[in-house]
Amino acid sequence: MPGLLFSINISQNDLRNALTFLDFSGFKIKSHSNVENRLFVAENSYKGYPTQSWQRGQKFVFFEGMVYPKPKDSFPDELFDFITPSGFSNTAINKWVNSHDGEFVIFLVDIALQQAFFVNDRFGRLPVYLLKDGRKLALSREISFIHRLRTFKNPDIIGQAQSFLFGFALGNRSLWEKIERVEPNVQIQIDLINGRIMQQSFFNIQGALSAKNTNNHIPDLINQFNHALQNRIEVLDKPAVSLSGGLDSRLIAASLSFQNQYIPLITYSDFEQSASKDLFSATKVIQHLGLEKQHQVIELQQTTLENINEIIRFKQGLNGADMAFILPFLSHFQQNGYSMITGDGGDKTLDDLRPLVPIISTHHLINYLIQKHSHLSLKEVSLIFNIRPDELYQSIADQLNSYNTDSFENKFIHFMIRERAINWLFEGEDRNRYFTWSTTPYYNNDFFDLAMQLPMKQKAYGKAFRTILNELPGHLEKIDNPNWNAAIIEQRRIERLFLRQKIRYLLPNIISAFRPKNNQRIDINQFTNLIGIKSNDFRFVHSEWFEQLESLKLTQSSWFRLLTVLITDL
């Protein structure tokens, strides 16, 4: 993805080879420091992508991303103040990060001390990757850069198996050995001579979950949401909303109407018509708010092999190939110079995140997570990747046990935010940034904390959304949520829907006999026929996998996951 490129003790030949791969259309590499076989600092970005850098003597500051509201003119001075004569002011940096709303990474270099310092925002909204191999070290927003600097070809088999199982690797794992996904809200101090690092993550949501607010602070939530959205609109160039018709993005539309903000609201209609219910609800939202002049509907064509190749090439397996259909939609934002505002995070802040059934043990929690996020068993995935089931099982248990809570319910909530949001959904948002800047008001620090303090029972069955939308224009709570085929005012209907889901998790073996057609297992030829591509078009799959692939029968979504994991060398 666009942004920071940093390495030390990498040969010029290896560096050139890695940079040669970064030939994405419209991107340019701007070098800030290139000391042969020693220090390399640069950025890879397109026109309009938000990066800034300043140099004062032997001190260098790089800032990528945005903060909301727009920083004051003294902003560079604030960042340089983090570099003191004795090193970096860790406490001041941590205080600054937690008091600023935005998506950002900061990279500080003190040549005199031969030290560098990396920090990201509270939630790690911009994915960053770390390569550590002896004295060689690289830190970058661009996974392709990190991937191509490897002097070894070993995959992280556990990371690949986890990605196939859940759609994403857990914790700081990636798909490759010695390449880590950088933690959210992390500080990394780097010795520029020997490549040694000291890192500490300050990410923690347990405090917000524990500080329950039983008072009615919905008005505060609404005010903070409006404030966060307004700040983004004031900072962004040509802001536009990606409107799906679901609860998350319709709340943004309602807030815009309340604030008399008239910006484009853009919805897609996909080739397979799988989003037809979303389009219907989005159209109703627009009509209720009287925003027809601001609404655009983009008709998407059938996904092509070129689309699939493109998403795999610039995400290297960290975003699903099944999302290739959306690239023309993102291109529309790019071609019109729009910045994107999405509803990402609404389902993590205003939804009931509790598991549907009581969890009584770690074993029960792992089985529930697999049942919720995979169509395959842990044993089946282990067989495909030729690892022991207990090894894969233990890797999941270790991550769950790393959370700062003893409650199984809270461990599940942590998983939904720390893993599913940060390791998966954030990668999807970062895919958008290949085309245009993308942001959401839901991860505003103050809004997030207020939302987490709202008891989950007050969010159940869409109650929080219903209460908030009832205070905003348009009576949007009366429009069907396409995910439920019911409006959130229809509480009994929604409760019955959730009851059926609970029964599904309580009686999985019985319910599995009645799986919908799209969950049925097919072979690779049936899969490629379904998506309109020939199986031999996947020539970039490692040859040793072909025989095994031909013997497998998987669901369509599992095929997309497996191919995403296996074809990362494109």
Domain assignment present for residue 267? The answer is yes
pLDDT single digits (tens) 267-306: 999 887 777 899 999 999 999 999 999 999 999 998 888 8
Q: What is the per-residue pLDDT for 273?
A: 78
Same-domain status, 323 and 464: yes
At 258, the pLDDT band (50, 70, 90 cuts) reads very high
Q: Is the pLDDT of residue 447 over 70?
A: yes
Domain of 263: which CATH number?
A: 3.40.50.620
At 495, the pLDDT band (50, 70, 90 cuts) reads very high
Same-domain status, 81 and 56: yes
Same-domain status, 316 and 177: no
What residue numbers bound the domain in which 31 lies?
3-204
Domain assignment present for residue 283? The answer is yes
Q: What is the per-residue pLDDT for 542?
A: 53
Mean pLDDT over 512-520 rounds to: 58
CA distance 452 to 332: 35
pLDDT single digits (tens) 386-435: 999 999 999 999 999 999 898 999 999 999 999 999 999 999 999 999 99
H or E, element range at 263: none
- Do 494 and 488 meet the contact criterion of CB atoms below 8 Å apart? yes
Q: Is the pLDDT of residue 540 over 50?
A: no
Of 170, 186, 204, which residue is a domain's last?
Answer: 204
Mean pLDDT over 498-520 rounds to: 71
Same-domain status, 50 and 198: yes
What percent of the residues of the chain are helix, what percent strand, and what percent coil, each to the nearest 5? Answer: 45, 20, 35
Same-domain status, 132 and 226: no
Q: What is the per-residue pLDDT for 513?
A: 47
Of 500, 521, 542, which residue is a domain's last?
Answer: 500
Q: Encoding tokens for residue 3?
A: 């942004």
User: What pTM does this model have?
Assistant: 0.94
Task: Give the CA distances from residue 384 to residues 172, 217, 379, 501, 553, in Å, rounded to whole numbers and listed in that order.
Answer: 23, 49, 9, 29, 11
Domain assignment present for residue 28? The answer is yes
Domain assignment present for residue 351? The answer is no
Determine how many CB atoms are found less than 10 A away from the CB of residue 522. Answer: 17
Name the more confident of 530 and 374: 374
Domain assignment present for residue 567? The answer is no
pLDDT single digits (tens) 26-64: 999 999 999 988 999 999 999 999 999 999 999 999 999
Q: What is the per-residue pLDDT for 569?
A: 54
- Do 179 and 149 meet the contact criterion of CB atoms below 8 Å apart? no
Domain assignment present for residue 52? The answer is yes
Same-domain status, 168 and 220: no
- Give strand pairing partners of 242: 266
Q: Encoding tokens for residue 403?
A: 């959370």
pLDDT single digits (tens) 463-487: 999 999 999 999 999 999 999 999 9
- If phi > 0 it is left, if psi is from -120 to 50 it is alpha, else beta; for residue 407 that is beta
CA distance 19 to 26: 15
Alpha helices, DSSP H only, in 128-188? 143-148, 157-166
* Average pLDDT for the chain: 92
- Do 564 and 311 meet the contact criterion of CB atoms below 8 Å apart? no
Same-domain status, 96 and 133: yes
- Do 229 and 256 meet the contact criterion of CB atoms below 8 Å apart? yes
Q: Encoding tokens for residue 205?
A: 């949501």
Nearest in space to 167 (alpha carbons), one of 349, 376, 27, 333: 376
Determine how many CB atoms are found less than 10 A away from the CB of residue 493. Answer: 14
C-alpha 322, offset from chain centre: 15
Same-domain status, 276 and 324: yes
Same-domain status, 178 and 247: no
Same-domain status, 186 and 252: no
Domain count, the chain: 2
Domain assignment present for residue 476? The answer is yes
Of 204, 225, 255, which residue is a domain's last?
Answer: 204
Determine how many CB atoms are found less than 10 A away from the CB of residue 296. Answer: 14
- Do 239 and 229 meet the contact criterion of CB atoms below 8 Å apart? no
Domain assignment present for residue 270? The answer is yes
Largest CA distance in the chain: 70
- Give the whole-number percent of the chain exceeding pLDDT 70: 94
Q: What is the per-residue pLDDT for 516?
A: 53
CA distance 65 to 63: 7
Q: Encoding tokens for residue 49?
A: 């992508």
Domain of 53: which CATH number?
A: 3.60.20.10
pLDDT single digits (tens) 307-352: 988 998 889 989 988 999 999 999 999 999 999 999 999 999 999 9
- Do 37 and 192 meet the contact criterion of CB atoms below 8 Å apart? no
H or E, element range at 325: none
Question: Rg for the chain (alpha carbons), in Å?
Answer: 23
C-alpha 493, offset from chain centre: 31
Same-domain status, 267 and 297: yes
Same-domain status, 189 and 257: no
- Do 72 and 47 meet the contact criterion of CB atoms below 8 Å apart? no
CA distance 15 to 29: 13
Q: What is the per-residue pLDDT for 213?
A: 64
